[in-house]
Structure 1
């Protein structure tokens, strides 16, 4: 587990509608993951790909703050990468 403190969190997936698998990132690298009850997240963060900043304390997420602009930028970057890779595959 990463040391307690502030991290960037990304909801990787939601399992059975009740458990959110949250990836913890530091400097753009995934350093750990937490499985949390989806109800403990702010409503705006209860979807796959949600990006928020939070503090990790005692193995839990504290004070999550949704970052919709960063989430949108990340999604756009990933889509651009996918489009470039798809185009290369079509060229073969």
Structure 2
């Protein structure tokens, strides 16, 4: 059975294993560990977002989504900025 997910590269273990968090409808549904070299070179960093096709728990195809990666990075930074603002500085 072939399934397609959005995946976020959560971390790289020992410089070799990419830990991908697989998502459906905005929710994390599974984790997939793959050799980082099986991912597109531009996606071989933490926080990258990919569209990944999986068959029998093995990645078949992975496409890097740079626009989604950038958007998520900016959203996370905005949340951190809001959280780091002192209560007295808020309107």
Unaligned runs of 5+ in 1: none
| Cross-structure match for 1:83 | 81
The Cα RMSD (Å) is 1.4
What is the deviation of 1:54?
1.2
Q: What residue in structure 2 maps to residue 71 of structure 1?
A: 69
C-alpha distance after superposition, 1:4-47 (max 9, x if no partner): 41100110000110001000001111001011111111111110
1:38 correspondence with 2:36: yes
Tell me which stretches of 4 or more aligned residues in structure 1 moved more than 3 Å.
Answer: none
Aligned residues: 88
Structure 2, unaligned runs of 5 or more: none
* Structure 1 SS opposite 2:15: coil
Q: TM-score, normalised by structure 1?
A: 0.89
| Whole-angstrom CA distance in 1 between matches of 2:6 and 2:14 | 24
